[in-house]
Structure 1
Amino acid sequence: MSAKARISYKKQMIVILLLFIVPFLACLLSYNLYTANTVVNANIIQENKSKIGVFSNSFERSIANITTFMTTTVANDTNFRVLGYQSGKLNAYLSAYEILNKCKDILSMDESITGLFLFSTANELYWNAFQNRSGTENRSGLSEQLRTIVSRQDYTSAEWFVRELNGQPYLIRVLSYNRAYFIGIIDLNKAVRSLNADSSANANPLLFATDRMELLTMNRELDQAHYTFQHNQNGEPVYLKSGKTRYRIIESDFGVKGIKMIYLVAHRRIWHDMNGQQFSLFFASIVCLLLVPLCYFLLKRSFFTPLNSFVGTMNSIKEGHLDVRMSNRSPILEFEQMSSTFNEMLHEIKSLKIVAYEHQLDAQRATMQFLRIQIRPHFYLNCLNNLYALAQNGEYKKIQEMILVLSKYLRDMFRQSPYLVPLSAEVHNIETYVKLQTMTQSTPIYFSVDMDEGLRSFPIPPITILTFVENAIKFGIYRDKPLIVNVKARYLQDGDSDCVNITIVDNGKGFSEDELKALNAPHTEENTTHVGIGNVKRRFFFQYQGEAVLFFSNSNGACIEIFIPLSTAGAEPHPESNEELV
């Protein structure tokens, strides 16, 4: 395109805006005269939007408070966990008593909550707590219906839901642990009366409804037998007509899925026969509407199409396609210059990213190698100390045997890849290591392997299983009891989640509760007792990008379970990971 055919975007914008703004201003003048008649309704609607916002926020806070109280009780209160199992009538009674005392406190602080129920099917215990202001005639019926819902599992535990109890709509939340159930209920009719303090005859109805606009509560101002909805062009209900009154519907969500709060504002008609002023407004509107397609065409050709091309190119770059380029064809001079500059910048970014990728890969490989080397020093020092002790005792034959086994062990270690080794090679190194330890330990050590034959060549980071076996020998021997260490490797098939499970168990002392809490934490902190295990967790994070799982527990001794997804097996450290390990 020649330079004469291109104009500045400023001139292009001015031409387009003038073509649109001049008739728009004339239309706006007429429109302002007309809207003066409807400003009253607009102000009323805006005022009531603020009011229903206050109502919904207040109700949402109440629901959030009771939800927090219920989830905290189920998750953290040991009394509730006692109720989940058969613990005896007295223990169950005392635990339920403690929980219900807390329930009474929360009920006294928030009047919108109707009641809280505590069911322990394991101990056949059924308690409830109601608001003091609530009637007592329907309490037994409510309890019975809630017990039926729980027994039939007729609820969704992940959220609040609406159910009719004793002929009234209630908002219900059920949380459970094993065979204990914690239920909160809110009477929607009472909630409406509590929220809408203005209960005068002229008050606007405040109601609850479903997302499909099915009314859950009613109001004495409405004709309950005859009411209809009026919808807009999108099929959304805008007005409710009851008898001779027409209400504008104002909606507000309060954090419960499938349910909304609606406020009905009586609509005031301020309308007259069309006069000359309104006819002028209609004609001006038609002119503006006819000019809109022309303005849109000009804006699309000059601005929208180049900008869409620019956004499309940026999205392609975001997905990793650095070979895309922006088109230079545009009637706007500045867009053409921007395209050329952007294409040159993309070329530079691609070159710099390759260099940065290589540097980051080198740095992460060095980190992996350092973590691997850091595990071993105390083992080599122990071997040297053992050799020194044997030399002092004059046991030269044992020294010779130990040196031969140690040299074979070191030869295998130096020959291994710094990233991944076959599972069979790791097991072979463990057997050599156990043999070394047997030569210096007075307590017998028995090591066994149960491995699927197809997993012998499965790749894992080196010194992984060996670290846990070494930890078992170091901390598991006590009371002159023979130490038994078993490694089991299995292939777990679960559709797209296929993985390999490696389990290391021993019959030693196991882990303390504090150690289990620290080892099962998402990030491993520096620990002078289990340096090797911490380094293994860091190496697994680098190697598998958080997809592999290590779980520590006790089972007549220490038990370590490793789960490695097949989708990540054999992958080298990801060069673009920049998460900081704690």
Structure 2
Amino acid sequence: MRKRYGNLFRTLRFKLIFGFFVIVIPVIAFMIYNNLYAIQVVRNQVAQSNKNLISLYMGQIDRNLEEVDKYLYSIASLETGLLVLEMPRDQNPDRYSFERIQLYNKMRGDLPSYQLMDMFFIYSPANEDLMVVANNRIEFGNLQEIQNNLMHVFQDRYPQEVTFKEWFVRKIEGDYNLTRVIKYGNVYIGAWGNAKDLLVPLNLLQLGDNGKAFLATAALEPMADQAFVHANHIDLDYTDADYKLTGTDKKFMVVGEKSARGRFSLIAAIPDSTILEKLPFLRRIVSFISIGALVLLPFILYLLRRNILIPVNRIIMAMRRAEDGNFDIRVAHRPYAFEFNVMVETFNRMISQIQELKINVMEEQLNNQKAELKHLQLQINPHFFLNALNIIYNLAQVKDYALIQEMTHCLVEYFRFMFRSNLTFVALRDEIQHTLNYLRIQEMRFPDKLTFDFASADHLLDGRVPPLVIQTFVENTIKHAVSMDRSVHIHIAVADGGGDMAHIRIRDTGRGFPEEVLARLQKGKMLGSQEGDHIGIWNVQRRLRLLYQDKAQIAFSNDDNQGAIVEVRLPINREAN
């Protein structure tokens, strides 16, 4: 694995791509960072500017509310009629009504001076009497609703949002209103104003086409434009930072300022697209260049891959396949660069020359193998030939013409098979018949000392096998196991080895392989000597390696009781070669 990664780091592909990214990525990253930094600076500047503007407007609203507070406190401190309203009306009804009318006229005359307020009110808990002074902007039906809401506030012992220290927000029929209550003794005096009236000056703010400014409750619920806030998923929580970017499809910058006089805030939502329009021209060019570079980066990599990496990779893959011995490979001619076309033509020409050279070498090796096979097939044991002639001579002396004819016929068939040296493969039935001819000749040589039997699966008899595979091991058995002093039985069996394999088993009842010979055979070492001992076994092993490489196996062993066992597994060719 380490070598693989080491080779990867040294490839042209890695160096080109790495070098390209080392140069391009820092430049693009710097341009992107510079652009983001510029955007951040512009946002900070716009946020600070709008926050200052919101603070200015919030200060103006607070000053107007402060003037209302001063007026209410002046009423509480200067108007002695409030003392009369503290007492039950039954004690002095006329004076109660007189002071109530006096306060009503006083507030009605002062109300137009406070444009943000729609109503002043006084509430006497002792008499459960609410006196309301309202301007013409409040319709009669709404006035009744407001009076009921105020009575609900006082009679419910002041809900949580009601406070005597600051202005609080009340919602009536979808409209948000600012309310101020001051307690003087056992009397409450207050002011009531619609939040929409406070937003009129905010329309002068330049917040872009979709920008909005609105008052929000202490829970940051907008008092106006609720549909706009919910549709754009704007989060009005501005308290964590100088500004906040929020929204889904469209981003908005949110800045706000809390009122110093009440439990509400003034918040502005500015479209981020409007803010970025204020970026300098060069900053936008940098942004376009960065985006263009990122868009062109895959195209540049595609050109780099198409014009350099793919040609190099194809040449390398072809070289690796040639290294594995596949000399039929050629690199296809493509519209590459001139240098790569020269490399492709040179490589193809070189592979063609190597292929021709390899063909010549292979033909030479095949000729040598054929010559070696021919030599192996033509090796005839002179003792076997002389013994066969000697048997015929002895049979002629006793005039046993039937045996002479059988012996002659077996010899003719034997030598006819041996002289078919131009065949690399023979039918399994021919190999078996040749072996049986050989055994019959040896049976005449060793009467009553040699017996044999044979068994084979019929569907294997038409298969093709190398000649002399079975006869060689039978000959080795007769040479080393059969004598006039000991009877030997040879059993030959050919069975299906699974798939296209044949399993040939040759077993005798002789003395078996000597221990040192068996050890060398099992290790695959050559046993041939200058005297020719075991040369037949080596011949078969050599031929099987030439024909099948590692697909054929030969196993040698001794029977537990007595005798040697040779097992051969080799492919069965279904067609003549």
Into which bin does the TM-score normalised by the smaller protein fall?
0.3 to 0.5
**Bigger Rg over Cα:** 2
Return the TM-score normalized by structure 1: 0.44
Return the TM-score normalized by structure 2: 0.44
